[in-house]
Amino acid sequence: MTTSRQKVLIVPCSGIGKTYGSVSREAAYEVTEALRPDETQLLALSLLVMGDKSSRQTLAESPAITIDGCKLACATKMVQECGGSVAHEFAVLDVYRRYRQFKPLGIADLNPGGLQLARALAEEAALVIDGMLSEETGGQNG
Amino acid sequence: MAETLEFRVDKFTFRVALDRYYTPEGVWAKLEGDWVRIGLSDFLQQRSGDVAFAELKPVGTRLDFGEEFAVIETIKVNISLGSPSAGVIAETNPAMKVEPERINQGPYGDGWLAFVQPDDWETDRLRLLDARAYFERIREQAEEEVHKP
């Protein structure tokens, strides 16, 4: 017997043209493509902004982790505005404060520091996802 | 909350607290008792972006007028801040180690940086801009920047 498990949505900010926005997107790719591909799904903020029905439906059914590049927190605000559930929100700047050795530079192409920062953020997100899924499993088993 | 002068450029509103003096670069100084409290102007913090780290020279450091007393790293730039008063650093804001974002949240309040025990405040004050002069200076600067082709 197989059971289908809800995926955790990863919603990065758009942040086009900004270094910290690029870090947020790189981190989202890292989580959804490399670290937890089976447990997560990338959801594009632009689709929510445009009112895409399918994306909003997906959001209504699954918890989301948002990754914002700046204090405007567009990803978090948009998910909330669309009625979604933000299980955890990351701000790139807060993560950078924990990993000062990874100073991000560049926009279209992040420097090695930016890529390492994205990786560090992704690893933190993966741990959050593991926690969420183990709680879910615990809840189902309990 | 200090009384302020305000102007708006594009979507940004900039405030200048009236009860203190400013360096042209945007460091403010306010005499409180025998000490001078110093911090960043609202214009400088908004222009520089979200602060990631604020590193202040330690208490006891002797400063000349204009000498670096802090380095601020933001998401855009690293800024070296020159002291608006000659003297000795008497106290630093402990919040800067853990919550440097206070500079962005309250540049004229919780986001202050340090107290300096001045050698001669009256002499320093004459080398600074009063709030109205600083206000005019940054308003022109902001308008020039927004109208750059």
Asked if A20 contacts A70 with a C-beta cutoff of 8 angstroms, the reply is: yes
Determine the Cα–Cα distance for residues B28 and B19; give it in Å rounded to an integer. Answer: 10
Instruction: Give the closest residue to B96 by CA, choosing from B83, B117, B114, B75.
Output: B114
- Those of residues 100-119 in A touching chain B at CB distance below 8 A are 100
pTM of the full predicted structure? 0.84
Average pLDDT, integer, range B10-35: 96
B50 contacts on A by Cβ (under 8 Å): 70-71, 93
pLDDT at position A3: 47
10 Å CB burial of residue A40 (0-12, 13-18, 19+) is buried
Residue A134 C-alpha, separation from nearest chain B C-alpha, in angstroms: 32
Chain A CA closest to residue B97:
A97
Residue B98 C-alpha, separation from nearest chain A C-alpha, in angstroms: 9
Q: How confident is the model at residue A139 (pLDDT cuts 50, 70, 90)?
A: low
Strand partners, B51: B74
pLDDT tens sequence across A24-55: 999 999 999 999 999 999 999 999 999 999 99
Average pLDDT, integer, range A3-22: 85
Q: Check CB contact under 8 Å for B53 and A100.
A: yes
pLDDT tens sequence across A83-121: 999 999 999 999 999 999 999 999 889 999 999 999 999
Determine the Cα–Cα distance for residues B45 and B68; give it in Å rounded to an integer. Answer: 17
Q: Check CB contact under 8 Å for B75 and A20.
A: yes
Strand partners, B148: none
Q: What are phi and psi of B51, to 5 degrees?
A: -80, 130
ipTM surpasses 0.90: no
Q: How confident is the model at residue B2 (pLDDT cuts 50, 70, 90)?
A: confident
pLDDT of A1 > 80? The answer is no
- Report the range of poorest mean pLDDT among A63-72, B72-81, B139-148: B139-148
